[in-house]
Each structure stands twice: as C-alpha cells, then as structure tokens.
Amino acid sequence: MLHQEFSGSDVAAIGRIARIVGRTPEFTKADVRDSGALREVFVRHRFDAVIHFAGLKAVGESVEKPIEYYDNNVQGALVLCRAMAQAGVGVLVFSSSATVYGNAASVPIREDAPLEPTNPYGHSKLMVERILQDLEASDPGAWRIALLRYFNPVGAHPSGLIGEDPQGIPNNLMPNIAQVAVGIREKIRVFGSDYPTRDGTGVRDYIHVVDLARGHLAALETMQRERRGMTVNLGTGRGVSVLETVRAFERASGRAVPFERVARRAGDVAECYADPSLAEKILGWKATYTLEDMCRDTWRWQSMNPHGYREESRK
C-alpha cells in the first residue's frame, strides 16, 4: 500500500513496480499531512505496520526553506502517528538520516555518537526521532518503532525499470553524475575541494537502494519476532569521496564526467560514514552491493530512461 502525493516521485513508477513484482500496489495520492485522507486509508485497510518514507530531503534546500522542511517532515510524522494510534497500528519503521550526527568528531559513526545536526533537514529528522522515542516510551506495549539512520542512498533497481528521477537540477551527487554522463547536463559541480579529506572533497557512505530496502524488511521482521524497537545505522561502513565516485561512474558507464570545483555548500559536512555493526548484530543485515554495483545500476536506469519517467507519464 503506497500513500503519497508524488512530491519527488512519479505515478509512472507504480506501473514499473507492477512489472517487477507481478502485482500492482494499491496507492492513494495524498499529502501525508492530510489527516482526513490518512484516516480514510486506515479505515479502508487493515495494516500490521507502517514504513514512513514521506518527507523533503535536500540539505541545501532545507537551509533556504526551513519552514517547509519542519512543516512537511515534522508535522507529517505527527499526523501519521495520530492516524496510527486511532487505528490501533503500533509498528513503525521511520526513514531517518545520518544527518542527525552533524559534523561527527570521528568516523566511522556509531549510533551512540552525539546528535548535532548542522542543517534544518537534519534537525527535522532528529525532531521526529525524539517524538517517536517519546511515543514508544509512553506505551511500550502498544508501540514498536525502528529508527533507521540512512547514510547516502544511491543506485536503482537492477532491472533499470525504477530509479531516481529528480525534477530540475538534482540535489544529490549520483543522479547529477548520471545526467552528465547521459548528456542532459554539461558538467557536475563539486561543492568544496578544501575539506580535510584524502582528495579535498566530501566523503560519504553510499548505500545501494536494494540493500536499504532489505534493511527495512529486516527491521520489520525483527520487531515482529522480538517485539521491540531499535535505532540503527544503515550504511556500508566505507567512506568514498566525491571524486572517487565520479571516477567509478566513468568506469561503469564508459563516459567522461566533466566537473567544476565550486565553494562548499551550506550545511554539508566533510566526512560521514557508518559503523553498521549494530544493524548486523540486531537485524542480521549487512550491505552487500559495492560502489561499482551502485554506479552500474544507476547507469542502467539512466541510459534506459534518459528523461526518467516523464515521457511515460505523458503517454
């Protein structure tokens, strides 16, 4: 069951999902902050659990539009929790983010590291984490909540049928690189080349979206089995720089990816990668896709769908 207004996504993806799994998902097109629409969904369907992905997610944009981020991300979570409580559904997997750690004093980052986000997006995720922790503590018998702190999701489904299709200039590195490689854009901008890292560019922990999806299923299965919530990192434990990512994509695609070095972007940190050992211990989960796999699958998606879902949506 999907419930979304397709901000940052496209209805054409529903048909693509059906082609992959052989079954069309039910979905409701609505804003997660629309309490009436949410109530209707919970009345029409019986759910065992909810996975909450809905939210705005661009660090730079959050600095420019903080009110929109707090309204969408925090208010959306509150409305959802009220609807769940009214329907008697208490199992929730929340899409959190490694941005809650901010400029970590050391890497790899463990779950008990200080939580000091440096931008409104990270603050909004931490606020929701606090709300959900308080909710679970208020009635442990009714609520089981998994807080999954994503590092940097990239890649696409290996079939090439579904992938990231940003509208306008992408906010994230991998779709930017892919659009340059396919010829939509002339070059990428590398934000900051004076960080204290091995090549001066930011270092991130990129995780394949398929590994990420497996992590959500593992969290649901663990909560059903052990009847408790959790807070875990979902990452590979390997930090990769911007320039290393560009080179890996060039190898995967066989295309050159020109780039321009520009000033740092507000809210970005120098280095961020996970210690994922707790997820392996609690969930029995471990990332298996390599950077090369991520670049290969992103390129397959982009080369098969140069303009994303847009052409299909117009048919």
Is residue 121 flagged as an active site residue? yes
E strand or H helix at 66, and its extent? helix 66-69
- Give the chain's domains with CATH numbers: 2-314 (3.40.50.720)
Give the per-residue pLDDT at 311: 58
pLDDT confidence bin for 113, thresholds 50/70/90: very high
Catalytic residue from among 121, 150, 206, 273? 121
What ranges make up the beta strands (E) of the chain? 2-4, 27-29, 50-52, 91-97, 144-150, 152-154, 188-191, 203-204, 206-208, 230-234, 240-241, 259-262, 271-272
C-alpha to C-alpha distance for 216 and 225, rounded to whole angstroms: 14
Buried b (16+ CB within 10 A) or exposed e, 41-62: bbeeeeeebbbbebbbbbbebb
Give the per-residue pLDDT at 312: 59
In angstroms, what is the C-alpha Rg of the chain?
A: 19
Instruction: Characterise 102 by phi-psi region: left (phi > 0), alpha (psi -120 to 50), beta (else).
Output: left
Instruction: Find out whether 136 and 299 touch, Cβ atoms under 8 Å.
Output: no
User: How confident is the model over 250-263, as pLDDT tens digits?
Assistant: 999 999 999 999 99
Mean pLDDT for the stretch of residues 268-289: 96
Mean pLDDT for the stretch of residues 179-188: 95
- Token code pair at residue 297: 């699958």
Give the per-residue pLDDT at 6: 46
pTM listed for this prediction: 0.92
Residue 29 half-sphere exposure toward CB, CA atoms < 13 A: 8
User: How confident is the model over 301-310, as pLDDT tens digits?
Assistant: 999 999 888 7
C-alpha to C-alpha distance for 51 and 48, rounded to whole angstroms: 10
- Does pLDDT of 314 surpass 90? no
Q: Is 23 exposed, middle or buried (0-12, 13-18, 19+ CB in 10 A)?
A: exposed
User: Which residue is associated with the tokens 């471990």?
Assistant: 286
The arrangement of strands across the sheet holding 50-52 comes to 50-52, 91-97, 144-150, 230-234
Nearest to 42 by CA among 10, 6, 56, 34: 34
Mean pLDDT of all residues in the chain? 93
User: How confident is the model over 65-111, as pLDDT tens digits?
Assistant: 999 999 999 999 999 999 999 999 999 999 999 999 998 989 999 99
pLDDT confidence bin for 13, thresholds 50/70/90: confident
Mean pLDDT for the stretch of residues 179-196: 96
Is the backbone peptide bond immediately before 117 cis, with ω within 30 degrees of 0? no
User: How confident is the model over 147-170, as pLDDT tens digits?
Assistant: 999 999 999 999 999 999 988 788
